[in-house]
């Protein structure tokens, strides 16, 4: 289902429906805002369309590019997990917003916990005037000032009774605000991660559009694949390549990768070297040996080793290396003999 973008999104707790209803009416009659341009999830006709598969996905799409997000910051708001997520999304994505503090919540508490420095009291005529100016600037709609004054004063006159009708949580404790702050920070982190993921996907698509053949497509796919997945694929290729060459050749490749010469220590290993030499995988030079780069199987093995080496050397993901060491007990390094034995299945 295609989601119609709404210019105004009112983020509020479901328990504050009566207040949100009055605010929508003020925006429509006092600011000439089209009610169809307002997303207010708890109000009939203003919320999520019937049949929407996922209301969370709908909200996520709705807060991509609104012209204004109005935040009804009440005690009920900070008692709602979804409101906290919306708050994190708004600030995490840098969306234009207008916070309204709803009594008995105090702005001073907000400033101390969530750094809301621009919020104003919903009971303030002057702050509502600022909201009107923002609506006019964002939507280009307005009514004559005398009309606005009448609608604003009527809203303020009815506000006390509306606030008294709202479900009361009691005083918000310090623990509750701490929990809200933690949820907010978690929401920010999630939004940032999603933003990075979206940016990466967009870049991936743009690079794929520039590809002219399958080789370039493979290269781009490799570039954007996850570290763990790419590591597994490279290991599979390397294991297959090493399985096709002699054990002595594998040992020579291991020491060459370390920048060292391969000196077999006993006669049995020299027998293996001579067998590899007979099929020209290895070249014996005095008392050491080295792999023959021109041999097709050796060449494929060296390419696989180099690709895996480059991946590990260029991967800037501390979590990957920490998780690997915790699981295996040795570092993810091509210079490590245990890595070759346990990950690549080669005893060198």
Whether residue 173 is found in the same domain as residue 260: no
Using the 8-state DSSP alphabet, how is residue 192 labeled? H
Closest by Cα among 115, 113, 134, 131 to 123: 131
**Which residue is listed with tokens 């702005």?**
107
| Band (194; pLDDT cuts 50, 70, 90) | low
Rounded-to-integer distance, Cα 125 and Cα 172, Å: 26
* 73 bridge partner residues: 101
Determine the pLDDT at residue 51.
Answer: 57
Residue 72 backbone phi and psi in degrees, to 5 = -90, 90
Whether residue 182 is found in the same domain as residue 233: no
Whether residue 25 is found in the same domain as residue 79: yes
Q: Mean pLDDT throughout 289-295? A: 92
Query: In this structure, is residue 268 part of a structural domain?
Result: yes
Whether residue 338 is found in the same domain as residue 283: yes
Q: pTM of the full predicted structure?
A: 0.48
Whether residue 127 is found in the same domain as residue 263: no
| pLDDT tens string 214-237 | 777 766 665 666 677 789 889 999
273 sits in which H/E element: helix 267-278
| Band (307; pLDDT cuts 50, 70, 90) | very high
Rounded-to-integer distance, Cα 100 and Cα 73, Å: 6
Token duo for residue 103: 């009594």
CB atoms inside a 10 Å sphere around CB 133: 12
Whether residue 183 is found in the same domain as residue 249: no
| pLDDT tens string 312-348 | 998 887 888 988 999 999 999 999 999 999 999 998 8
Q: What is the CATH number of the domain that holds 17?
A: 3.40.50.10140
Query: In this structure, is residue 347 part of a structural domain?
Result: no
Whether residue 243 is found in the same domain as residue 182: no
Please tell me whether residue 38 adopts helix, strand or coil conformation.
strand
Whether residue 53 is found in the same domain as residue 173: yes
Mean pLDDT of the chain: 81
- The residues near 287 (Cβ < 8 Å, ≥ 6 apart) are 263
Whether residue 239 is found in the same domain as residue 336: yes
Query: In this structure, is residue 312 part of a structural domain?
Result: yes
Query: In this structure, is residue 145 part of a structural domain?
Result: yes
| Band (197; pLDDT cuts 50, 70, 90) | low
Q: Are 124 and 160 in contact (CB under 8 A)?
A: no
Torsion of CA 149, 152, 156, 161, to 10 degrees: 130
Helix 145-165 to helix 17-31 angle (10° resolution) is 170
Q: Mean pLDDT throughout 70-82? A: 86
* Domain range enclosing 160: 8-188
Total number of domains constituting the chain: 2
| pLDDT tens string 110-141 | 644 454 446 789 999 999 999 999 999 988 88
How far separated are the first and last CA of the chain, in Å rounded?
A: 58
Whether residue 152 is found in the same domain as residue 240: no
């Amino acid at each position: 289902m295609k989601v119609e973008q709404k210019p105004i999104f009112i983020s509020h707790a479901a328990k504050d429906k009566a207040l949100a209803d009055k605010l929508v009416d003020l925006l429509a009659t006092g600011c000439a805002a089209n009610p169809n341009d307002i997303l207010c999830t708890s109000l009939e006709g203003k919320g999520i369309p019937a049949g929407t598969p996922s209301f969370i996905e709908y909200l996520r799409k709705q807060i991509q590019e609104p012209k204004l997000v109005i935040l009804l910051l009440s005690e009920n708001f900070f008692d709602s997990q979804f409101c906290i997520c919306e708050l994190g999304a708004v600030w995490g994505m840098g969306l234009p917003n207008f916070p309204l503090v709803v009594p008995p919540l105090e702005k001073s508490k907000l400033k101390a916990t969530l750094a809301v420095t621009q919020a104003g009291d919903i009971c303030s005529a002057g702050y509502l005037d600022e909201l009107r100016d923002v609506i006019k600037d964002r939507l280009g709609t307005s009514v004559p000032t005398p009309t606005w004054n009448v609608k604003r004063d009527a809203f303020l006159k009815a506000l006390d009774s509306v606030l008294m009708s709202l479900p009361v949580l009691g005083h918000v404790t310090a623990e509750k605000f701490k929990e809200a702050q933690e949820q907010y920070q978690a929401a920010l982190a999630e939004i940032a991660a999603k933003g990075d993921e979206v940016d990466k996907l967009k870049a991936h698509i743009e690079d794929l559009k520039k590809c002219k053949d399958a080789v370039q497509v493979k290269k781009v796919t490799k570039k954007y694949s996850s570290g763990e997945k790419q590591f597994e694929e490279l290991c599979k290729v390397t294991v297959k390549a090493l399985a096709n060459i002699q054990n002595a050749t594998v040992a020579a490749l291991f020491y060459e990768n370390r920048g060292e010469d391969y000196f077999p220590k006993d006669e049995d290993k020299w027998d293996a070297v001579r067998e590899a030499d007979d099929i020209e995988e290895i070249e014996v030079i005095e008392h050491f040996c080295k792999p023959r780069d021109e041999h097709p199987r050796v060449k494929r093995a060296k390419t696989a080793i180099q690709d895996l080496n480059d991946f590990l050397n260029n991967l800037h993901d501390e979590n990957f290396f920490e998780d690997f060491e915790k699981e295996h007990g040795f570092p993810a390094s091509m210079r490590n003999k245990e890595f070759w034995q346990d990950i690549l299945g080669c005893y060198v």
